[in-house]
């Protein structure tokens, strides 16, 4: 094989360079990745520059140009916008990849490398970006000659349109309207037709009337649009009877157009609102750390989510049933209307979601669904701790086989509770009160950071009952205060809530 | 002398309760409200009676109320509520009625209807799940207490007129291998935790609440 041309070697070197890749990734995240933590700061910075730029334009209208402000606007801000434009142009396509692909294609077909084809391909890919509306706006906002001529300074307003880049809501608005392209084109054609026909008719009827205000075709167009929009300034109006008949028709058409336009926008919003909400939740979910993933929203899920929220834990609910998902939203939880048993859901949430998850709670009302979800989660992560609710006792083994680390059978739990309440009602009620969140006296845990934590608790002189020490599934009841325990063990104590909090802080 | 457990309703939950209590050798009596439940319980060789939820339950008067615990476990919460009310009306204040409710709202209604203890199913399950996730040590402790086969127990000991503990200071009470959790004051039916008071002298008919292994508890008794 012949030696690679220099440009191809360069493309290979760039492609394999960590530094280059990292830079490219950094700028990609900064400009295009809405989940990137620093993007919002960049966006806010650009919005501020746009507002300063427009502010200077407004100031210049009635004041003499200030040299400092002019320098800031024409040089500094323009350079920043130009750099941003060039970065976007750089990121819009991977030139190295295009070059390498073209080289490999030619090598495979055993023909000489056609550099010009690759260059055309690269230029076309850049042009494809350059003719997009946002790129055109960006370019118009930076082209310096607009600022050189005073009349063209108005083009600074293009900078306002740049706000589309930095505000999600504007993006959503544009996306929503783009779903109704056909309806909007139809409306525009209808409006155009009415304006054209009515302008011509009114012109022919009014232009020769010496007392009329419609003298030119422009007047006719102006009147037509003002009338159709139902604004009706009244500065230009038909005076002949025939002209007034036309006006009546145009007014009625205008009302119809407005109603049609409103219905298009409203229906587009209604259809897309759920998608927008979902996207927002998705973005929020991608930022959460140590979250609890609750699969299925039932009464039990609602209670668990509330309890976890009281402990200031992040909770994300996956529920594909629209009604239940809506209930979760009403309860003010972060909810995605997606199936917990679908791999697609986890693809959407990002590959690292399960790594950021403390535990997955499979709380759907059906064992079949929970088994399916357990298997889905297990296929993605073998480490994630999963806890599943069991509805039918006979399915316990299936849930364990599917990968649930822990299975909770509520009937068994309630039977044990009922038994204890029946045999030792007062004792159990007193013990149970220790688990109630709002109790004054409660049971808590202290993680041992020292082997002599029991002696330290004793020395604190607080009124505390040390119930036991837990380590790796083993519970030592009523330990001796001199007992040296393994660091990381958990000490179960009963005390006033404030004392527990104080000990947790002081012994941490 | 152990109590007789009277269970109303025979569903999945009741079956689990019966299974737990049978292991402990408790005396059980079941009243069911449908033929299906009746047949299901008969096949398990249980002492079972078929009744209607709106019957007058006069036959319960023959029982030693103080020795009985009444468990209302009917699936239909409205019927459970009606039953709790009927039992309280019929048996008076001495009857110990335990009722199961799904939601906190129904738990409140059951309390108003006269249930002595209401086990809120959803809340208890959620509590257990959250404890399992956030407080593994506490969960382990409560699981051991709930597990009847485990030696660790929570117990109530009544202070009789002849008890050696009569007049002792609760906060300075030292019993081998036993943790004194608190006391239920007979006079006011009030719970007092050891950790919230500086001193309390035990009176007759007070109930001492202890946590200990079975063998240590037997010595105390």
Cβ atoms of residues A32 and A43 within 8 Å: no
Does B129 sit within 8 Å of A361, measured CB to CB?
A: yes
Q: How far is A489 from chain B (nearest CA, A)?
A: 9
Q: Which candidate from A393, A414, A470 shows the least CB-CB separation from B136?
A: A470
pLDDT (0 to 100) of residue A429: 82
Distance of CA A93 to the CA centre of its chain: 24
Q: How far is A128 from chain B (nearest CA, A)?
A: 52
Cβ atoms of residues A493 and B179 within 8 Å: no
pLDDT-derived band at B197, boundaries 50, 70, 90: confident
Residues from chain A contacting residue B20 (CB–CB below 8 Å): 412, 415-416, 418-419
Q: Check whether residue B21 and residue B73 sit in a common domain.
A: yes
Q: Check whether residue B116 and residue B165 sit in a common domain.
A: no
Nearest CA in chain A to B21: A419
CA distances from A311 to A293, A306, B48, B134 (A): 15, 9, 45, 9
Residues from chain B contacting residue A438 (CB–CB below 8 Å): none
Structure tokens at B24: 């402990």
CA distances from A165 to A38, A88, A132, A177, B69 (A): 15, 11, 13, 17, 70
**ipTM here:** 0.82
Does B127 sit within 8 Å of A463, measured CB to CB?
A: no
Give the residue from B108, B125, B142 where a domain finishes: B125
Token pair 């009544």 in the structure block, residue: B158
Residue B210 domain-assigned (yes or no): yes
Residue B135 domain-assigned (yes or no): no
User: What are the residue ranges of helices labelled H in B54-175?
Assistant: 77-91, 104-112, 121-134, 136-146
Residue B145 domain-assigned (yes or no): no
Structure tokens at B38: 């009746």
For CA atoms A164, A168, A170, A171, the dihedral sign is positive
Q: Check whether residue B108 and residue B54 sit in a common domain.
A: yes
Q: Residue B161's domain is classified under what CATH number?
A: 3.30.70.1450
Considering only residues 147 to 186 of chain B, which have any Cβ-Cβ distance to chain A shorter than 8 Å?
147-148, 152, 154-156, 177-179, 181-182, 184
Does B129 sit within 8 Å of A387, measured CB to CB?
A: yes
Residue B133 domain-assigned (yes or no): no
Question: Residues A222-243, buried b or exposed e (16+ Cβ, 10 A)?
Answer: bbbbbbbeeeeeeebbbebeeb
CA distances from A450 to A359, A458, A463, A487 (A): 28, 14, 21, 6
Distance CA A321, CA A339 (A): 8
Residue B134 domain-assigned (yes or no): no
Residue B91 domain-assigned (yes or no): yes
B67 at the A interface (CB within 8 A)? no
Give the 3-state secondary structure of residue A224: helix
Q: Give the residue from B177, B214, B172 showing the smallest Cα distance to B194.
A: B172
pLDDT (0 to 100) of residue B54: 76
Give the 3-state secondary structure of residue A502: helix
Distance of CA A466 to the CA centre of its chain: 47
Does A422 sit within 8 Å of B26, measured CB to CB?
A: yes
B121 at the A interface (CB within 8 A)? yes
pLDDT (0 to 100) of residue A415: 85
B29 at the A interface (CB within 8 A)? no
Q: Which candidate from A304, A424, A495 shows the least CB-CB separation from B155?
A: A424
Q: Check whether residue B66 and residue B109 sit in a common domain.
A: yes
Could you give the maximum distance between any two Cα atoms of chain B, in Å?
Answer: 57
Distance CA B98, CA B79 (A): 14
Q: Give the residue from A19, A2, A23 showing the smallest Cα distance to A103.
A: A2
Q: Check whether residue B49 and residue B114 sit in a common domain.
A: yes
Q: Residue B38's domain is classified under what CATH number?
A: 3.40.50.720
- Mean pLDDT to the nearest integer, B190-197: 87
Best of A386, A419, A453 to disrupt the B interface by mutation (most B CBs within 10 Å)? A419
pLDDT-derived band at B75, boundaries 50, 70, 90: confident
pLDDT in tens, chain A (508 residues): 456 788 888 988 888 888 998 999 999 999 888 778 888 889 889 889 888 888 887 887 788 878 888 888 888 888 898 899 999 999 999 998 899 988 888 888 878 888 888 999 999 999 999 998 888 888 887 775 455 555 555 666 677 777 776 776 677 777 777 778 888 888 899 899 999 999 999 998 888 888 888 889 999 999 999 998 888 888 889 998 888 998 999 999 989 988 988 888 888 877 777 777 787 888 888 788 888 999 999 999 999 999 999 888 999 999 999 999 999 999 999 999 889 999 888 888 876 778 888 999 999 999 999 999 999 999 988 889 999 999 988 999 999 999 999 999 988 888 888 888 877 788 888 888 887 767 788 898 888 888 888 888 877 777 888 999 998 878 889 888 878 788 888 999 998 888 888 888 887 7
Distance CA A216, CA A219 (A): 5
Distance CA B156, CA B207 (A): 6
Nearest CA in chain A to B157: A427
Q: Check whether residue B202 and residue B114 sit in a common domain.
A: no
Residue B25 domain-assigned (yes or no): yes
- Using only the alpha carbons of chain B, give its radius of gyration: 19
Please count the structural domains in chain B.
2
Distance CA B159, CA B166 (A): 7
Q: Check whether residue B212 and residue B160 sit in a common domain.
A: yes
φ and ψ of A491, to 5 deg:
-100, 125
Does A440 sit within 8 Å of B196, measured CB to CB?
A: yes
Beta bridge partners of A470: A475, A490
Q: Check whether residue B104 and residue B172 sit in a common domain.
A: no
Does A412 sit within 8 Å of B191, measured CB to CB?
A: no
Does B126 sit within 8 Å of A300, measured CB to CB?
A: yes
Cβ atoms of residues A99 and A8 within 8 Å: yes
Q: Which candidate from B21, B121, B135 shows the least CB-CB separation from A419?
A: B21
Token pair 């069911």 in the structure block, residue: B32
Q: How far is A408 from chain B (nearest CA, A)?
A: 8
Q: How far is A286 from chain B (nearest CA, A)?
A: 22
B26 at the A interface (CB within 8 A)? yes
pLDDT reading at B4 higher than 70: yes
pLDDT reading at B1 higher than 70: no
Q: Check whether residue B17 and residue B117 sit in a common domain.
A: yes
Distance CA A85, CA A237 (A): 47
Distance CA A275, CA A281 (A): 10
Give the residue from B91, B125, B159 where a domain finishes: B125
Give the residue from B125, B141, B160 where a domain finishes: B125
Q: Give the residue from B166, B126, B82 showing the smallest Cα distance to A308.
A: B126
B39 at the A interface (CB within 8 A)? no
Distance CA A120, CA A274 (A): 42
Distance CA A214, CA A239 (A): 9
Domains located in chain A, CATH noted: 6-166 (no CATH), 181-272 (1.10.287.70), 290-413 (3.40.50.720), 434-506 (3.30.70.1450)
Does B146 sit within 8 Å of A418, measured CB to CB?
A: no
Residue B117 domain-assigned (yes or no): yes
Q: How far is B35 from chain A (nearest CA, A)?
A: 22
Q: Check whether residue B180 and residue B82 sit in a common domain.
A: no
Containing H/E element for B71? strand B68-72
Nearest CA in chain A to B147: A416
CA distances from B206 to A231, A352, B159 (A): 86, 57, 5
Does A414 sit within 8 Å of B124, measured CB to CB?
A: yes
pLDDT (0 to 100) of residue B64: 80
Q: Check whether residue B191 and residue B120 sit in a common domain.
A: no
pLDDT (0 to 100) of residue A150: 54
Nearest CA in chain B to A407: B129
Domain hosting residue B26, numbered range: 4-125
Q: Which candidate from A441, A478, A494 shows the least CB-CB separation from B177?
A: A478
Nearest CA in chain A to B26: A423
pLDDT (0 to 100) of residue A399: 93
pLDDT (0 to 100) of residue A66: 83
Q: Check whether residue B77 and residue B120 sit in a common domain.
A: yes
pLDDT (0 to 100) of residue A105: 85
């Amino acid at each position: 094989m012949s030696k690679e041309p220099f440009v191809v070697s360069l493309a290979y070197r760039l492609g394999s360079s960590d530094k280059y890749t990292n830079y490219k990734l950094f700028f990609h995240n900064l400009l295009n990745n809405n989940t990137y933590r620093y993007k919002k700061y960049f966006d806010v910075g650009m919005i501020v520059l746009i507002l300063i730029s427009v502010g200077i334009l407004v100031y210049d209208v009635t004041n003499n140009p200030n040299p400092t402000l002019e320098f800031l606007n024409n040089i500094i801000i323009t350079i920043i916008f130009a750099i941003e434009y060039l970065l976007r142009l750089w990121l819009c396509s991977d030139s190295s990849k295009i070059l390498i692909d073209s080289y490999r294609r030619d090598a495979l077909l055993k023909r000489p490398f056609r550099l010009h084809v690759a260059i055309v391909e690269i230029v076309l890919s850049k042009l494809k970006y350059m003719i997009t509306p946002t790129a055109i706006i960006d370019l118009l906002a930076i082209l310096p000659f607009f600022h050189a001529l005073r009349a063209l300074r108005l083009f600074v307003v293009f900078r306002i349109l740049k706000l589309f880049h930095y505000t999600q809501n504007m993006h959503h608005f544009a996306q929503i309207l783009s779903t109704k392209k056909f309806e909007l084109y139809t409306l525009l054609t209808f409006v155009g037709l009415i304006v054209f026909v009515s302008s011509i008719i009114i012109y022919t009827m009014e232009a020769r009337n010496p007392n009329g205000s419609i003298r030119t075709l422009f007047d006719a167009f102006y009147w037509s649009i003002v009338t159709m929009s139902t604004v009706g300034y009244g500065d230009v109006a038909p005076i002949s009877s025939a002209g007034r008949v036309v006006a009546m028709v145009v007014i009625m058409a205008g009302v119809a157009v407005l109603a049609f336009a409103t219905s298009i926008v409203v229906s587009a919003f209604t259809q897309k609102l759920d998608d927008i909400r979902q996207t927002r939740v998705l973005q929020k979910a991608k930022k959460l750390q140590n979250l609890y993933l609750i699969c299925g929203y039932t009464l039990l899920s609602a209670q668990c989510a509330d309890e976890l929220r009281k402990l200031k834990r992040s909770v994300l609910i996956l529920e594909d049933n629209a009604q239940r998902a809506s209930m979760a939203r009403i309860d003010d939880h972060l909810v995605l209307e997606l199936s917990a048993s679908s791999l697609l859901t986890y693809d959407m949430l990002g590959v690292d979601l399960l790594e950021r998850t403390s535990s997955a709670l499979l709380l759907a009302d059906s064992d079949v669904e929970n088994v399916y979800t357990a298997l889905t989660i297990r296929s993605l992560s073998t480490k994630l701790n999963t806890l599943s609710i069991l509805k039918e006792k006979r399915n316990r083994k299936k849930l364990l086989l599917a990968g649930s680390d822990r299975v909770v059978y509520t009937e068994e739990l309630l039977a044990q509770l009922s038994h204890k309440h029946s045999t030792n009602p007062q004792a159990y009620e007193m013990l149970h009160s220790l688990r109630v969140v709002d109790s004054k006296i409660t049971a808590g845990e202290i993680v041992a950071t020292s082997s002599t934590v029991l002696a330290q608790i004793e020395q604190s002189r607080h009124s505390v009952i040390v119930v036991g020490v837990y380590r790796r599934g083993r519970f030592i009841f009523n330990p001796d205060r001199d007992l040296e325990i393994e660091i990381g063990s958990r000490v179960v104590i009963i005390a006033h809530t404030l004392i527990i909090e104080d000990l947790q802080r002081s012994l941490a | 002398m152990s109590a007789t457990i009277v269970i109303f309703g025979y569903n999945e939950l009741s079956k689990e309760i019966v299974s737990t209590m049978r292991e402990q050798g408790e005396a059980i009596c079941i009243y069911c409200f449908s033929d299906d439940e009746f047949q299901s319980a008969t096949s398990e060789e249980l002492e079972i009676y078929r009744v209607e939820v709106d019957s007058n339950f006069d036959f319960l008067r023959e029982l030693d109320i103080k020795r009985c615990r009444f468990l209302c476990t009917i699936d239909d919460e409205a019927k459970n509520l009606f039953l709790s009310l009927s039992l309280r009306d019929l048996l008076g204040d001495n009857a110990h009625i335990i009722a199961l409710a799904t939601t906190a709202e129904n738990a409140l209604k059951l309390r108003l209807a006269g249930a002595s203890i209401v086990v809120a199913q959803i809340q208890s399950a959620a509590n257990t799940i959250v404890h399992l996730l956030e407080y593994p040590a506490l969960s382990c402790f409560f699981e051991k207490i709930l597990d009847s086969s485990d030696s660790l127990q929570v117990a109530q000991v009544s202070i009789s007129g002849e008890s050696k503990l009569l007049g002792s200071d609760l906060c300075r009470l030292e019993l081998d291998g036993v943790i004194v959790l608190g006391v239920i004051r007979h006079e006011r039916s009030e719970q007092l935790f050891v950790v919230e008071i500086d001193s309390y002298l035990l009176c007759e008919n007070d109930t001492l609440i202890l946590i200990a292994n079975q063998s240590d508890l037997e010595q105390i008794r």
